[in-house]
């Protein structure tokens, strides 16, 4: 089962590599994505047993992340059929292959319990995304790719040394040297706090960089801004969650070592900083894709704060993995359509999107409402859970800052998004061949419906999944 999950996308990559036709490739891509989702669901229904040696273990956290990633990936794959049709001018060879490799690595991250292996997989996703960001082949995109690659690599390198510290801690403690989560958690008590703390710091910085926590987020606006819509969607809806999963693993470890407080506080502080930074940079944002990037910074901040708060907020954080991922999909895909149609991502040029593209404009507006945490959409559930638990825990200041930055972000985003979608299309604005078609509008619409559904009703199995995940992250007493 595990093997299938990893291998299938790789086969897909191979196949798409061999296929010459640009028209056919996206279809193959969606086919394999569908297969991957199938396997995922199968694995959710009958959880495969932990592999001998415990390298592969499909626990609730992995399930949540894998589910959201797989769904998002399928949607993006289907969208790519319609989208790439408008990008016939360049070959999508690298794009499709890269996507599938990335999918394979991503699945590996979710199912492995060996931190080293997880790290390798994460690094692979980083690398495999680089050529995708460079899809547009121009000066700006190369710059974006460069920054993305260097900053993320440095981050991942730091994560690696963090892992080394952890390993060395086991050696120093004279326990069986291992990077298996299970083993580490077993003898966590024996590990020397000095190494462990250093390890935690480095891992936090490393995975935080990949996740885009401020002030390690600097690559995000550039990469998201220059990458095609669907790549942006996968970056902000998929890779972010993978990095967050890695942080969750570290968190589990901290819980085992009983030295959680420092890690939690660090998370809260960095999360709040991220939210404030997002609030500052979203105001007067002249480029709507960059705005979405900062929104992503905001949401990783939210997840970090939730993780730091612990308790009931954990549930919110886990649910936010799904909610944020899917909603970001809606936003990026629809913004991709708008970008295509206006051939500009400047908020000064894009006006009256609702008039020109009723569907995409509407989806973008709805996505905005959803991502800012308005009911009846899924992000409301998670954000409200987090805020309320902050106040219920009596941590008024955190709650207040959280809420304040959410409000500022809402205002900033509203002042950017509403003028874009409303009003009349400026007469001089450039007209392109783009039209809303079922292939370009259907996928984000499906995502939006999903987001809405999760906003009003969480199915029982998902509920149990989330609570199991939260149970894994409970502070032991």
Tell me the C-alpha distance between 49 and 64, whole Å: 17
Task: Give me 444's structure tokens.
Answer: 């984000």
Among 14, 286, 438, 475, binds another protein (CB under 8 A): 286
Among 410, 434, 446, 469, binds another protein (CB under 8 A): 410
Which residues inside 113-132 make contact with another protein, applying CB under 8 A? 116, 119-120, 123-124, 127, 130
Phi, psi of 300 (to 5 degrees): -65, -35
- Residue 374 interacting with another protein (CB under 8 A): yes
Tell me which stretch binds another protein (CB under 8 A): 7-15, 88-96, 245-253, 450-458.
Answer: 450-458
Residue with tokens 């920054």: 147
- Residue 14 interacting with another protein (CB under 8 A): no
Which residues inside 196-215 make contact with another protein, applying CB under 8 A? 197-198, 200-202, 204-205, 209, 215
| Pick 251 or 281: Cβ nearer another protein | 281
Binding mask 43-82 for another protein (x = CB under 8 A): ----------------------------------------
Tell me the C-alpha distance between 456 and 465, whole Å: 17
- Residue 218 interacting with another protein (CB under 8 A): yes
DSSP 190: G
- Residue 391 interacting with another protein (CB under 8 A): yes
Sign of CA dihedral 302, 304, 305, 309: positive
Q: Which residues pair with 346 in a beta bridge?
A: 287
Closest C-alpha among 198, 346, 189 to residue 262: 198
Among 95, 151, 313, 338, binds another protein (CB under 8 A): 151
Q: State in angstroms the smallest separation of the CB of 200 from another protein.
A: 7
Among 459, 464, 474, 475, binds another protein (CB under 8 A): 459
Task: Give me 440's structure tokens.
Answer: 């370009």
Among 59, 226, 298, 436, binds another protein (CB under 8 A): 226
- Residue 161 interacting with another protein (CB under 8 A): yes
Q: State in angstroms the smallest separation of the CB of 399 from another protein.
A: 7
Tell me the C-alpha distance between 129 and 366, whole Å: 28
- Residue 164 interacting with another protein (CB under 8 A): yes
- Residue 369 interacting with another protein (CB under 8 A): yes
The string over 345-376, giving b where at least 16 C-beta atoms fall within 10 Å of a residue's C-beta and e elsewhere, is bebeebbbbbebbebbbbbbbbbbbbbbbeee
Tell me the C-alpha distance between 293 and 236, whole Å: 8
């Amino acid at each position: 089962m595990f093997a299938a999950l990893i291998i299938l996308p790789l086969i897909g990559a191979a196949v798409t590599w061999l296929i010459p036709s640009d028209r056919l490739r996206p279809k193959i891509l969606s086919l394999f994505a569908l297969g991957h989702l199938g396997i995922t669901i199968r694995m959710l229904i009958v959880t495969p047993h932990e592999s001998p040696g415990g390298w592969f273990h499909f626990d609730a956290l992995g399930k949540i992340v894998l589910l959201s990633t797989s769904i998002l990936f399928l949607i993006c794959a289907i969208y790519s059929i319609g989208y790439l049709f408008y990008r016939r001018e360049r070959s999508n060879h690298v794009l499709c292959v890269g996507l599938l490799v990335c999918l394979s690595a991503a699945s590996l991250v979710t199912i492995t319990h060996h931190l080293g292996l997880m790290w390798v997989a994460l690094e692979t996703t980083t690398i495999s995304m680089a050529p995708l960001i460079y899809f547009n082949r121009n000066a700006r995109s190369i710059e974006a790719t460069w920054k993305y690659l260097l900053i993320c690599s440095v981050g991942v390198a730091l994560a690696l040394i963090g892992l080394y510290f952890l390993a060395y801690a086991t050696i120093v403690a004279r326990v069986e040297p291992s990077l298996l989560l299970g083993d580490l958690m077993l003898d966590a008590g024996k590990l020397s706090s000095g190494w462990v703390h250093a390890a935690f710091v480095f891992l936090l910085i490393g995975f935080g960089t990949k996740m885009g926590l401020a002030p390690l987020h600097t690559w995000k606006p550039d990469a998201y801004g220059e990458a095609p819509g669907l790549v942006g969607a996968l970056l902000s809806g998929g890779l972010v969650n993978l990095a967050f999963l890695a942080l969750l693993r570290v968190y589990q470890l901290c819980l085992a070592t009983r030295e959680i407080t420092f890690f939690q506080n660090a998370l809260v502080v960095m999360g709040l900083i991220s939210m404030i930074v997002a609030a500052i940079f979203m105001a007067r944002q002249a480029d709507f894709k960059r705005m979405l990037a900062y929104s992503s910074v905001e949401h990783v901040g939210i997840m970090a704060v939730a993780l730091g708060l612990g308790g009931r907020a954990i549930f919110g954080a886990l649910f936010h993995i799904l909610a944020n991922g899917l909603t970001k999909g809606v936003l990026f895909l629809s913004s991709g359509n708008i970008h295509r149609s206006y051939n500009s991502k400047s908020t000064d040029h894009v006006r009256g999107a609702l008039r020109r593209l009723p569907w995409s404009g509407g989806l973008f507006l709805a996505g905005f409402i959803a991502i800012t945490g308005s009911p009846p959409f899924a992000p409301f559930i998670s954000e409200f859970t987090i805020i309320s638990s902050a106040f219920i825990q009596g941590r008024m200041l955190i709650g207040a800052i959280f809420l304040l930055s959410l409000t500022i972000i809402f205002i900033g985003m509203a002042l950017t998004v509403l003028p874009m979608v409303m009003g009349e299309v400026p007469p001089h604005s450039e007209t392109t061949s783009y039209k809303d078609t079922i292939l370009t509008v259907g996928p984000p619409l499906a995502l939006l419906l999903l987001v809405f559904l999760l906003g009003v009703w969480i199915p029982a199995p998902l509920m149990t999944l989330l609570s199991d995940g939260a149970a894994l992250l409970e502070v032991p007493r």
